[in-house]
């Protein structure tokens, strides 16, 4: 079942003539960002390893046709934990549109919640591979096209959990995303490319259709996860989780021409928590 985009804060035409690649866009923040860009007139390429991404893209395409927004959507399956997958996604966008104006790197997320001494080697490596490498690979894959154009914007989705409980490997990965954002911005700013990031806090979302990892089963695992929830709410000045719209809005803004003098910035979107 498809429906028009029903989110908040849409700015009609803001992405007209723009080609945007949004990774991790089968659900959650990535889906909301892709819907927003399509509703604002952009040609959006949705990337995810889950087949669900094709249904989301179809919904955006149909909504754009009904509304006359001028937007469009296509989709591609790719495993962005590999460079080959990132290159596949960028190549698909270039084949369809000939350019990439905006890349939103949204893949990532905590797989396990536990004190650091409870992580084994395999879990640590998987957390880093999930939440750092997709951004590293996608940035590298898109750079040649953006450099040839002499323009482009990369928006990385980091996290305020760089200072948080029971997810040290994830925090380390997102710290890497922050460093990548700032160092790459310095490196390519003089060549017409902006690199920025948001750092979301806790965000309310529908139950995930594709899980990041196993559900907490034991009472101990559930208690470890509850520590994250409690700390997230307590760290927020507003004492609540954000909404998907509240996360998508600054991402879409940062990718737009309205943010043309912003680069190297990491914007916390966490109700006052700076991470």
Give 262-265 contacts, CB < 8 A, sequence gap 24+: 262/194, 262/196, 263/185, 263/189, 263/194, 263/195, 263/196, 264/181, 264/182, 264/185, 264/186, 264/189, 264/195, 264/196, 265/196, 265/197
Angle of helix 168-188 relative to helix 133-149, nearest 10 degrees?
10
CA distance 185 to 214: 36
Q: Reply yes or no on whether 5 is catalytic.
A: no
Closest of 17, 136, 150, 51 to residue 87, by C-alpha: 136
- The active-site residue out of 5, 15, 170, 225 is 170
Active site amino acids: 170
């Amino acid at each position: 079942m498809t429906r028009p985009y029903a989110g908040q804060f849409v700015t009609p035409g803001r992405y007209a003539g723009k080609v945007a690649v949004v990774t991790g866009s089968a659900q959650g923040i990535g889906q909301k960002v892709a819907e927003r860009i399509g509703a604002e007139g952009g040609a959006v390429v949705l990337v995810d390893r889950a087949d669900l991404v094709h249904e989301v893209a179809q919904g955006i395409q149909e909504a754009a046709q009904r509304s006359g927004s001028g937007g469009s959507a296509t989709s591609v399956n790719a495993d962005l934990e590999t460079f080959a997958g990132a290159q596949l996604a960028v190549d698909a966008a270039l084949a369809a549109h000939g350019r990439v104006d905006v890349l939103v790197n949204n893949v990532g997320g905590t797989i396990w919640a536990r004190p650091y001494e409870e992580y084994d080697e395999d879990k640590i490596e998987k957390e880093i591979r999930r939440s750092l490498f997709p951004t590293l690979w996608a940035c590298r894959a898109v750079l040649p096209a953006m450099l040839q154009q002499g323009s482009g914007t990369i928006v990385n989705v980091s996290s305020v959990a760089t200072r948080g409980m029971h997810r040290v490997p994830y925090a380390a990965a997102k710290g890497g995303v922050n460093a990548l954002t700032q160092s790459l911005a310095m490196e390519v700013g003089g060549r017409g490319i902006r690199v920025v990031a948001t750092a979301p806090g806790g965000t309310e979302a529908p139950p995930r259709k594709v899980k990041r990892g196993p559900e907490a089963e034991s009472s101990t695992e559930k208690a470890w996860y509850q520590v994250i929830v409690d700390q997230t709410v307590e760290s927020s000045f507003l004492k609540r989780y954000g909404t998907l719209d509240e996360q998508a809005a600054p991402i879409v803004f940062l990718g737009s021409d309205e943010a043309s003098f912003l680069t190297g910035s990491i914007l916390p979107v966490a109700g006052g928590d700076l991470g």
